[in-house]
Amino acid sequence: MSDRVHDIDWVYLDHADRRVVQVGDRVCTDAGGLPTFRVLALSDGRAWLRDDNGADHLMPLTRFLWKASRWG
């Protein structure tokens, strides 16, 4: 767990726009921003992700409803 506090602005994702998520983005599945994932790679509508604990995941992009527009 990080001891750093983040000030995050979330934007709702429009999945009709195929460029909505890019490598390096922070995304989450629920309003409120938890859990968050960093996008490592994209392919065939799926994202390879790393969570805040360092675990890697593979999920369809459509599971993500929110993207961080500002993280810091």
In 3D space, the residue among 68, 52, 56 whose CA is nearest the CA of residue 13 turns out to be 68
Residue 62 contacts residue 15 (beta carbons within 8 Å): yes
Residue given tokens 């065939």 in the structure block: 44
Each residue of 11-23: pLDDT tens digit? 888 877 766 789 9
Domain ranges of the chain: 8-71
**pTM: predicted TM-score of the whole model, two decimal places:** 0.79
Per-residue confidence of the chain (72 residues) as pLDDT tens digits?
444 546 778 888 887 776 678 999 999 887 666 788 999 999 998 999 999 899 999 999 888 888 887 665
User: Cα–Cα distance between 72 and 14 in angstroms, integer?
Assistant: 23
CA distance from start to end of the chain: 16
Strands 66-71 and 46-51, by their bridges, are unpaired
* CATH 3.60.21, domain 8-71, yes or no: no
